[in-house]
Structure formats: C-alpha cells, structure tokens
Amino acid sequence: MTRVLVTGGAGFIGSHTVDLLMSRGHDVLVVDDLSTGFKANIARWANDPKFTFFKADITADITGTLDQYAAIKGPVERMIHFAAQTAVPLSMDDPVGDIRVNVMGTVALLEYARRNGIEKVAFASSSAVYDDDAPVPVNEESRARPSSPYGIDKLVIEFYLDYYARLYGLKYTALRFMNVYGPRQDPKSYYSGVISIFLDRAVRNEPITIFDDGEQTRDFVYATDVADAVVKSCLEDGALGEIINIGTGVEVTINQTARTILDLAKSRSTITHAPARAGDIRRSVTTMDKAARLLAFQPKVGLREGLEQTLAWVRTQMIVR
C-alpha cells in the first residue's frame, strides 16, 4: 500500500481519484484549498484512518504540512497533482494570477518532490495545450500551441516535469484530458462543462442553449475512467516521462449530447441556439493508441451509461438543495 498525496483531491476529478485510491487500501493525503472543491466530495472518507485532509493552498509553503503528515504516517511516496485554477476564461482575465497558482504552485511541489525523494508524480494536463487546428483525431505528436494562459500553464508544467526528470531523475507521467464529465462536476459557473450545464437545465425543465449549429464535436470521458488512468499512471512505474491523451476516441456532436440528455431526463426543456462561442474548437477527439499501449487504458463507461449515472447524481443534489 502506498502513501499518496493528491493535490486538488476535493475537486471533481480529484475526488473520484481519491475514491479509487481509498477503495484499494492506499493511504491518501489530500491537500486542497477548497476554492473550487468541496469537502462533501471527500466526506465519506473523513473518519477513515488511512485518510488525511489538509486545507491548504499550494502557493503557500505546504512543506510544514507535508512534514507533519510524514512525522505521523511516514513520508509521501507518490503524488497526483490536480490542484489548479482550471477556468479557461479566468486564465484570460488574470494571466498573472493564473501563473502564480498553476505554474509557481506546481514548481514548489516539484521542488518538494525532488528534495524528498517522491517516487513518481502523475500530472493532470489538458488537451487545451493543442493547436486549435490540430488534426482530427488529435494525438500526442500533434502540435502544442495553446489558445489560453491555462493551456500555456499546462504545457509549461510538462516542460518543468521533463526538466526535473532529466536533472534530478524525477519519475512522472502527464495525462492530457479530453472533456471530462460525471458526478460532482459543478454546473453553476459560466465556464462549467457543457454536460453539467445541460443536465442541470434538463432536470429543471429549463431551456438549454446550444452555441453555434451544435455540430461541433467533443470526446467526453467519464470521471471514474479518468481516475483509473490517473491511478495507473501514478502507481505503476511504466510510461515514464510520457505524455498521454486520456479520452474515449469517440466523437460526439453537441446536438447528439443534448438530445440524449433530454431523452434520459424525460425533460420538457427547449433547445435554443446562440452564436458560436469565441475561440470554440470545431472538432475534438483523441486517438487511443498511446493510452492503450502504455497504460493498458480502456474506458469502461460509455456516454449513455455515464450520462445516466450523472443524471442520477444531479437528482440527488436537487433533493439536498
């Protein structure tokens, strides 16, 4: 069993990763400032002796926190790094603040990792690093040319990982996520993922807005499948120094996605169209070869099943509110 630090572990994808690690008996330390994560996402583990939570910001010096944990449990052995400012539009409004959290916060963690001999780091990167004109399907060799400070941060961190690997022998795997969806994705902000917004509107029978003609496509991957890829890349010693796209390889239009959601929710929501959102890419889907070859990654949850499960979760949240 391994002692794993999960930064951003109270967040959407982070908490699914924590669930998987805990269910396999690992000792998990979550560091999260709860800026966009929720304690409720990890509440089920609160009384488990193998679970530790520290509310802390990665840009503050968390060395003391990690040393405190090490004194009680033993040193952190592996690290999964999710903690970030994840809103693309906010990164455009405040690129300096964005670098502070995403780049400086990460480099501080990498410094800790190399000074304390952390065995391996798994990093949550993004398909936002790719050129908008990248070929379809996109693969890991496609040109990286981010269209946002957020995408630039992720690419810069990949370079830092490579630097730490070459200079200090730090082991890592970076995963570039496609469009992740599932329970715990917060629908309430204007940069929320499309599926979380559509489900939220559908259960309330409120109108949903499709930007452009709705024939733009995405590769939607379910959060527990992403968690599976992340845990593999952290705990297995393969895929060293590799960058791997994590998606499903299935390209779906926004129109199809909306129709499936309205159908599953038996919703009376109407669909309205609005002008294309600035900077939206037209088609997005990944090849799966590298993830299959290096991580034996195979997504288990198809879109319809994933939407059903997410819908069930959205309904439980309505009762709570």
Report how far apart the first and last C-alpha atoms of the chain are (Å, whole number).
Answer: 38
Residues 30-69 that bind ligand UD1 (CB under 6 A): none
- Looking at residue 35, what DSSP letter applies? S
- The rounded distance, in Å, linking the Cα atoms of 44 and 312 is 18
Q: Rule CB under 6 A: is residue 126 a binding residue for ligand UD1?
A: yes
Q: Rule CB under 6 A: is residue 115 a binding residue for ligand UD1?
A: no
- The rounded distance, in Å, linking the Cα atoms of 266 and 203 is 8
Beta bridge partners of 176: 125, 245
Q: Rule CB under 6 A: is residue 193 a binding residue for ligand UD1?
A: yes
- The rounded distance, in Å, linking the Cα atoms of 104 and 317 is 35
Q: Rule CB under 6 A: is residue 209 a binding residue for ligand UD1?
A: yes
Query: Is position 190 annotated as part of the catalytic site?
Result: no
* Contact by Cβ (8 Å): 189, 179: no
Q: Which of 112, 130, 150, 172 is catalytic?
A: 150
Among 254, 262, 301, 303, binds ligand UD1 (CB under 6 A): 254
- Name which of 168 and 191 has its Cβ closer to ligand UD1: 191
- The rounded distance, in Å, linking the Cα atoms of 125 and 247 is 12
Q: Rule CB under 6 A: is residue 160 a binding residue for ligand UD1?
A: no
Q: Hey, what amino acid is at 297?
A: F
Among 41, 52, 127, 224, binds ligand UD1 (CB under 6 A): 127
Closest residue to bound ligand UD1 by CB: 128
Q: Rule CB under 6 A: is residue 245 a binding residue for ligand UD1?
A: no
Among 216, 224, 267, 269, binds ligand UD1 (CB under 6 A): 216
- The rounded distance, in Å, linking the Cα atoms of 128 and 237 is 26
Residues near ligand UD1 (CB under 6 A) are 88, 126-128, 179, 193-194, 197, 209-211, 216, 218, 254, 277, 280
- Which residues are catalytically annotated? 150
